[in-house]
Structure 1
Amino acid sequence: MLARGFVPEEIHKTKQSHSIGWLVFVLCFVGLVFLFSASYYRSELLFGNPYYFFKQQFIRMIIGAVFAFIISKVNFESLTRFLPLLILLNILLLILTFIPGIGVSFWGANRWIIIAGISFQPSEFAKFTLVFYLAYILSKKKDAFDEPFTSIIPPAIVIFIFSFLVYLQNDFSTAIFLLFIGAFMLFIAGVPIRYFLYFIVVALPLLLILLFTKEHRVLRLITFLDPSRDPDGTGYQIQVSMRAMSEGGLWGKGIGAGDFKFGILPEAHSDFVFSIFAEEMGFVGVLVVFALFSIFAVRAFSVSINQESFFYRMLGFGSIFTIVLQVLLNISVVSGLLPTTGIPLPFFSAGGSSALITLALCGLIINISKSSEGGWNV
């Protein structure tokens, strides 16, 4: 068997990719179950079909799984040739959100485009593009950080362009999220701390101005600091969310037996689906989901840190950080620990674009985990 290429390391790599794949499958399954539980009332109310949101999400997850499978098989070295085209395409899609007839405005935000009857959120695609681009460019420039105009400034400009275009869509939370992705990848690449200090000195006043020049952002901040200040207005959603979670108790009310999804908690099927999960599954169920996400994160980080290729390490770290940070932000919001952000919960929240990109990032991680040689060296 050894003569035919059978080596223990290859089995280990295969087991790693399979374990991550199964974790993704379990998270998708649990997410779909509770999306249906949280959404069937609203689906029936809006569309006369209790399965509407569930079917939409299921179809998007199947498409996302196909993308993940393809990405898990491709040679990343060949894909890097198309990076300039990928960046330009993403910028074009972000700009299209402002074009009447293509871009769609919802609640004052221009986050979506509709092409051939299919809606898509380009800011979600930007997460994938940014991770792949930064992993590549920083791996190429890792030995030239003492020359910032050739190694740090170009990726910083791309990060800024993406974040600025998303901010213009009136999506402040996702714009800041993209900045966090960029900062994290620059940090783990080994960019000297002094450059982060320069950025903070310049950017912090600007971010504060952007935050306080929009009334709804100020109201969100005030609500976070004092949810009881306007219990029937801006503070309503957070207070109801925390009530739903607390009523779950230790064991929860049971799958489908929650009350707050029946028009009491706004966006119960979307950004606040975890509140319904906690109500129906209780503290024990929350611990189980935390364990699933934690095992997934640890496995993905373990796979990434053991790669010989700097590019593969960066790609793995960026992918899992993007997923885990969204999990932490969403759960912190519904628990009242952070102001409302509009960041979805991966695998759970309704949203086709988010599901597609989350699974695409999982495809990157699985591809890395199957690399018997630790990727290609750059």
Structure 2
Amino acid sequence: MDGFLMERQRGNSFDTMLLAVILLLAGSGMAMLFSASYPDAVNTGKPFTYFISRQALMFCMGSILAIFVAYMPMDFFRRWNKLFLIIVFVLNLLPPLYGDVNGASRWIRIGALSLQPSEFYKIVLVLYLASDFVRVEEGRKKNYSTSVFTVILAIIQIVWLQSDLSTTIFIMGLCATMLFVSKFRIRMLFLLGVGIGLLFFLFILMEPYRLSRLLSHMSGNTDAEGSSYQILKAKEALLAGGIFGRGIGSGSYKMGSLPEAKSDFIFAIVGEELGFVGVIIIILLFAFLAFKGYYIAWTATDRFKSYVAFGITTSIFFQMLVNTAVVAELIPTTGITMPFFSQGGTSMLVTMIMCGFLLNVSRGTDRGDYYE
């Protein structure tokens, strides 16, 4: 781990290549979302720009917050990480007050906008774990087994009660990955892995439709008119674009034959309209973002920044990997969306804020000592 946290002084400017790939992904995602979402908007009696206009608003808000985050001293986030965690925890207690949507209470409404507070765990958990790891490594805390497990289990329980299995699985995976690169004891990490596996199967067994998805995937997705319909249609759309695709806006599967074309399965629409070439370009952009993020983590000027950059990069890249693996029929349907592309204002907002943290660490300048 010491090599991973190698210190190196850099200048004050942002990593321009990182900024460029973020803007390319955001622009590509907005274009594809507009193409994938307008049929759904029209079919439900809304303006054809209904979904993209809301996504654009959240992108703008996220960009403003990203700039704020990019210029703030990282010591500020380290000092107040527990407060941020408490705020997000409290926000996640509010969705039941706003009622259920499709059997799940995951959102709070602010005027005409809806926010999914569990998305913010992708940020505050990284900050909390990074700060806790550094305190142990600096000798200011004996160990973090009890506190880390307590926080993780409390968060998992709250998110699970929102009927949000995808975010629950994501949080467990993110925490396990960050613990793996820390100095967490191997024995405890093994027990955590076993616990995650048991919780995963428990969550699946408690809902018949989740078990049906898993069994359908294990049997090769042969139920074309039942539980396998969505994934088979997604794979058809992905392959229908051929080498160069049908062109942006010219896809047919988003017209109704592929459910959730604008969110969970937007990557299938990317394949249909941009083809194999477009798919490879998008994947390479994400791969380059991951490379830059991990390089920034490797060369960060202190361990807290390094952990934050690692966690943020893993969060974005892991979501992309899972989403594309579902469309490619490699794993069962999870509900994890594709960063920058999938419809979901809170996801876009959080993704841009995470990019702000990466840009901050890429500047590589210490802004004063930290005292606790």
**TM-score under structure 1 length normalisation:** 0.91
CA spacing shift, 1:198–1:313, aligned 2, 3 Å: same
Q: What is the aligned partner in structure 2 of residue 247 from structure 1?
A: 240
CA spacing shift, 1:143–1:296, aligned 2, 3 Å: same
Q: Give the aligned residue type for 2:215.
A: I
CA spacing shift, 1:338–1:374, aligned 2, 3 Å: farther
Unaligned runs of 5+ in 1: 1-8
Q: Distance in 2 between matches of 1:342 and 1:257?
A: 25
% of aligned pairs identical? 33
CA spacing shift, 1:201–1:282, aligned 2, 3 Å: closer
Q: What is the aligned partner in structure 2 of residue 363 from structure 1?
A: 356
Question: Comparing both chains, which one has the higher relative contact order based on Cα–Cα distances under 8 Å and sequence gaps of 6 or more?
Answer: 2
Q: What is the aligned partner in structure 1 of residue 197 from structure 2?
A: 204
Which residue, out of 36, 39, 42, partners 2:37? Answer: 39
Q: What is the aligned partner in structure 2 of residue 69 from structure 1?
A: 67
Q: What is the aligned partner in structure 2 of residue 316 from structure 1?
A: 309
- SS, match of residue 137 in structure 2: coil
Q: Distance in 1 between matches of 2:214 and 2:306?
A: 36
CA spacing shift, 1:145–1:80, aligned 2, 3 Å: closer
Per-residue deviation, 1:215: 0.5
Task: State yes or no: 1:130 paired with 2:128.
Answer: no
Unaligned runs of 5+ in 2: 1-8
- How far does the alpha carbon of each residue in 1:91-125 deviate from its partner, in whole angstroms, 9 at most, with x for none? 111111122xx2x4222221111134431001101
- How far does the alpha carbon of each residue in 1:234-270 deviate from its partner, in whole angstroms, 9 at most, with x for none? 1111000000111111111111111111111111111
Alignment of 1:132-147 (within 5 A): 132-142=127-137, 147=142
Which residue, out of 243, 256, 268, partners 1:275? Answer: 268
Alignment of 1:101-140 (within 5 A): 102=98, 104-140=99-135
- SS, match of residue 106 in structure 1: coil
Per-residue deviation, 1:89: 1.2
- SS, match of residue 227 in structure 2: coil
Q: What is the aligned partner in structure 2 of residue 4 from structure 1?
A: none
Per-residue deviation, 1:145: 11
Q: What is the aligned partner in structure 1 of residue 281 from structure 2?
A: 288
Per-residue deviation, 1:147: 4.6
Q: Distance in 1 between matches of 2:258 and 2:356?
A: 34
Per-residue deviation, 1:226: 2.9
Q: Give the aligned residue type for 2:318.
A: L
Per-residue deviation, 1:296: 1.1
Q: Considering only aligned residues, what root-mean-square deviation do their CA atoms show, in Å?
A: 2.0
Q: What is the aligned partner in structure 2 of residue 18 from structure 1?
A: 16
Q: Distance in 1 between matches of 2:88 and 2:216?
A: 34
Q: What is the aligned partner in structure 2 of residue 163 from structure 1?
A: 156
Q: Give the aligned residue type for 1:212.
A: L
Contact kept? 2:135, 2:141, Cα under 8 Å: no
Q: Distance in 2 between matches of 1:376 and 1:238?
A: 51
Q: Give the aligned residue type for 1:294.
A: A
Per-residue deviation, 1:376: 6.0
CA spacing shift, 1:315–1:85, aligned 2, 3 Å: same
Q: Distance in 2 between matches of 1:200 and 1:72?
A: 34
Q: Distance in 2 between matches of 1:133 and 1:343?
A: 23
